[in-house]
Structure formats: C-alpha cells, structure tokens
Amino acid sequence: MTKRIIAVLTVGLFLVFFTQACTIKLNGASTQGLKTINVGYFENNAQLVVGNLSQNFTEALKNRIRTTSSLAIVQGEADASMTGSITGYSIEPVSVQATNNNIAPIAGANRLTITISVVYTNKANKKNNFTQSFPAFADFTGDIANQEQGLIATITKQLTEDIFNKAFANW
C-alpha cells in the first residue's frame, strides 16, 4: 500500500513540476524582449493604385499583431518597428482561351498580385531585423470590378500572415 502511495505522489509531483515548467505558444509567435512595436503607414507606391489599399493594409497588419501577440502598438519610440510600402499591384492573365476566326485569344483567368516591401527592426534582437518584399496573389475569372475588394481582403490576409511569421516566428 505504501509503495502505491509513493508511486502516486511521485507521478503527481512530476506532473506538477513538469506542467509548471512548460509553456506552449499556439501561434508560434516569439516576441521575447519586446513589449512595444511601431507600425508605420504603408504608402501605396505601385503603378496601379487602389484608393483604400494603404489604409486597409496598415490596419490589417496592426490587427494581426494586436490579436496574435502581446505587443502594444505605439507611435514613436518602440522596442521594434515595421515600416514599408506597397510596391506592386498588378493584374495579369494566367490562362488563355482560344477564339475562332483569327480573333486574338482572351484571358480565361487572371491573377491579382500585391507586393509589400517591409523593413523590420528589432532592438532587442538585431539578428531578427530584415528588409524583404512579400508578394501574394489570388486568381479570378470575369470582371475584376465586382471582385476586387474581396480579392484584396484575401491577399491582405495572406500578406499579413507572411509578414507576421517572418518577424515573429522566423518562418
């Protein structure tokens, strides 16, 4: 009986110490040494300009950081900073449909690509600093006018995820 009590106590103590020593990060974000970040306005420098893209992208990036990390977003001096610009916004055909009677072929599907250039500075760990371009795209058929804002939202989500992962998960 005493051996059984000792075994149960040993396992119980092991579990208590083991679970207190371990932490799990479900989002994989590592913000060690950081408490604040300054996210600058991402100006649209692309040849094709969508009026609300800069504001929407900047706010989406801030929201991604705010909801998946413990960092406080501040203006001015911060432990880390993220600045950049929208450097590309293009629509290109990705498939071609044949036509009859010597008429030029037409695009069967198109691709909207947005490219963001980011400069990330981490004062706590300078080896995590980077300057990089992040492209993302979505394919569509038909007229872009009815789909553009939805495509931009899809691409923005992918871009903010890629940028967040590069800055805080080293992916």
Among 65, 44, 55, residue whose Cα is nearest residue 120: 65
Q: Given this model, what pLDDT does residue 18 score?
A: 47
Residues 6+ apart with CB under 8 A from 148: 50, 112
Residue 148 pLDDT > 50 = yes
Residues 6+ apart with CB under 8 A from 54: 41, 42, 43, 44, 86
Among 77, 90, 3, 93, residue whose Cα is nearest residue 36: 77
120-137 mean pLDDT = 96
129-138 mean pLDDT = 98
- Helical segments of the chain, H only: 2-21, 53-68, 148-168
Among 65, 37, 28, residue whose Cα is nearest residue 123: 37
Confidence of residue 6 (pLDDT cuts 50, 70, 90): low
Q: What is the pTM of this model?
A: 0.78
> pLDDT tens, 57-116?
999 999 999 999 999 999 999 999 999 999 999 999 888 766 666 666 666 789 999 999
Q: Given this model, what pLDDT does residue 115 score?
A: 98
Residue 41 pLDDT > 70 = yes
CA distance 67 to 64: 5
Confidence of residue 4 (pLDDT cuts 50, 70, 90): low
Residue 53 token pair = 């893209």
Q: Given this model, what pLDDT does residue 142 score?
A: 87
In CATH terms, is domain 34-168 a member of 3.40.1380.20?
no
